[in-house]
Amino acid sequence: MVRRFALTPGEPAGIGPDLCLLLAGSAHPHVLIAIASHALLSDRAAALGLATRPQCVTPDAWPSEPAPAGTLYVWDTPLAQPAEPGHLQAANAPYVLETLTRAAQGCLDGSFAGMITAPVHKGVINDAGIAFSGHTEFLAQLTGTPQVVMMLATHGLRVALVTTHLPLKDVAASITPQRLEEVTRILHADLRDKFGIGSPRILVCGLNPHAGEGGHLGREEIEIIEPTLQRLRDEGMDLVGPLPADTLFSPKNLERCDAVLAMYHDQGLPVLKYKGFGAAVNVTLGLPIVRTSVDHGTALDLAGTGRIDTGSLQVALETAYQMTGR
């Protein structure tokens, strides 16, 4: 069955518009609607020398069939100022958030089966006076979701996070029994319900070096992590850990694992990105909608050059198709 998906190009001065245009050079099995400035995409296609043609569509007459190769459906969302590749403009920050809002609202009202996002630039949005810490937190607030989970995935490895964009000094205090339980429940439920894994096996990192080494390097494993995991094991969840993060990511450990739960951003994601950079996807779990994203940033220095790879965006598309096809 043909489904409809929203595609947000992210920061207009970055590579997101380029990625969307390049992606539209091939045919796709579902209807993709880029929520973006038609003028931006037309100008960027010309600058890149692409034959891709942005075609305006509107909510009152969504196309029912996928666009042919070389055509990109666009729900026109005007910029505040013309965008120049590589040059950030705070005036366009509200435009970026409007594209995300339109996509998410469309998912909530059933117009879209899911949304796929290209990278935004957090710094320029904050420079515009808008508090913004990332897609994950923005979409959680917009959808009224009290707890979401960031998970990155590539071939053979999924890594979810208990904490996301926090200073390292704040991580330990943020790992509470309640938070760990909520994140683990969301990860387990979405692996089962959205990825079709009947009984997910999850490896859980410790917080401290050597998983605390029996309390000599920290007591979070003894006092928080292990008791919480045991309560969930008693309900039937297959949870292994807490394990030392420096040895958890060995092939032997990962061969019978559906996901790894890391305690903080730079504990798990460096391994994931080393293994699959350019071919990985960022998935927001726990939302009432499906949202996937690329695993990289705006790459301002490459915008408008054509020297980019659409691999991560393609994986994000395929993952959204998988998550909504059940």
| 165 annotated to bind ligand | yes
Amino acid at 71: T
> Locate tokens 């006092």: which residue?
223
Strand runs labelled E in 9-59: 31-36, 53-56
> How far is residue 100's CA from residue 97's CA, in Å, rounded to a whole number?
5
> How far is residue 5's CA from residue 314's CA, in Å, rounded to a whole number?
13
Q: What is the pLDDT along the chain (326 residues), one digit of tens a residue?
A: 899 999 999 999 999 999 999 999 999 999 999 999 999 999 999 999 999 999 999 999 999 999 999 999 999 999 999 999 999 999 999 999 999 999 999 999 999 999 999 999 999 999 999 999 889 889 999 999 999 999 999 989 999 999 988 999 999 999 999 999 999 999 999 999 999 999 999 999 999 999 999 999 999 999 999 999 999 999 999 999 999 999 999 999 999 899 999 999 999 999 999 999 888 999 999 999 999 999 899 999 999 999 999 999 999 999 999 999 85
| 291 annotated to bind ligand | yes
Cα separations in angstroms, 185 against 111, 229, 315: 28, 10, 25
DSSP 221: I
pLDDT at 325: 83
Q: How many CB atoms lie within 10 A of CB 69?
A: 12
Strand runs labelled E in the chain: 4-8, 31-36, 53-56, 71-76, 114-117, 149-154, 157-161, 201-205, 238-243, 259-262, 281-285, 291-294
- Omega cis (within 30) before 209: no
Bridge partner residues of 237 (DSSP)? none
| Residue 63 structure tokens | 């196309």
| 210 annotated to bind ligand | yes
| 253 annotated to bind ligand | no
| CATH classification (class only), 4-145+288-323 | alpha beta
Instruction: Label the pairing between strands 157-161 and 291-294.
Output: unpaired
| 135 annotated to bind ligand | yes
| Residue 272 structure tokens | 């994931």
Instruction: Label the pairing between strands 4-8 and 31-36.
Output: parallel
pLDDT at 326: 58
Q: How many CB atoms lie within 10 A of CB 266?
A: 10
DSSP 2: -
Is residue 8 within 8 A of residue 41, CB to CB? The reply is: no
| 38 annotated to bind ligand | no
Q: Where are the domains of the chain?
A: 4-145+288-323, 149-274
Residue 49's nearest CA partner among 72, 78, 18, 74 is 18
50 three-class SS: coil
> How far is residue 4's CA from residue 6's CA, in Å, rounded to a whole number?
7
* 4-145+288-323 and 149-274, same CATH topology: yes
Task: Name the CA radius of gyration of the chain, rounded.
Answer: 20
Is residue 94 within 8 A of residue 105, CB to CB? The reply is: no
Fold of 149-274: Isopropylmalate Dehydrogenase (3.40.718)
DSSP string computed for 224-283? IIHHHHHHHHTTT-EEEEEE-HHHHTSHHHHTT-SEEEESSHHHHHHHHHHHHTTS-EEE
> CB-based contacts of 146: which residues, under 8 Å, 6+ apart?
140
